[in-house]
Amino acid sequence: MLNGIPINFYIMLSAVLFIIGVVGVMARRNAIIIFMCIELMLNAVNLMLVAFSTLHNDANGQVFVFFIMAVAAAEVAVGLAILSMVYRNFKSIDIDLLSRLKN
């Protein structure tokens, strides 16, 4: 129980957020939306880590959240750089165009 709410509710909420992210990555064709969905997946994890951290009375979970945030920022920085390079060459960020490497 956290503040009167059972821990399962937190798990459910972050699982639902995570699944929305996963479905978004697989179904959407716009690269920016795909990045946003990956961020959603990572933030679902952050939510769950904070909930568990409070449940166990252990600060490690919240420290881990900082690591995830820092790494997610680095990943997005690299991702947007690659994306702008792709846009310069392809004049589009639709990922269906990125299928030259099929046999």
Going by C-beta distance under 8 Å and a sequence separation of 6 or more, which residues neighbour residue 30?
93, 94, 95
Using rule CB under 8 A, residue 22 touches other proteins: yes
Instruction: State which residue, 4 or 101, has the beta carbon closest to other proteins.
Output: 101
**Radius of gyration, CA atoms only, the chain:** 17
Using rule CB under 8 A, residue 20 touches other proteins: no
Using rule CB under 8 A, residue 3 touches other proteins: no
Q: Report H helices in the chain.
A: 7-27, 31-56, 60-90
Task: Give the side-chain half-sphere CA count within 13 A for 57.
Answer: 1
Residues found near other proteins in the complex (CB under 8 A): 7, 11, 14, 18, 21-22, 25, 31, 34, 38, 41-42, 44-45, 48-49, 51-52, 55-56, 58, 60-61, 63-64, 67-68, 71, 74-75, 78-79, 81-83, 85-86, 89-90, 95, 98-103
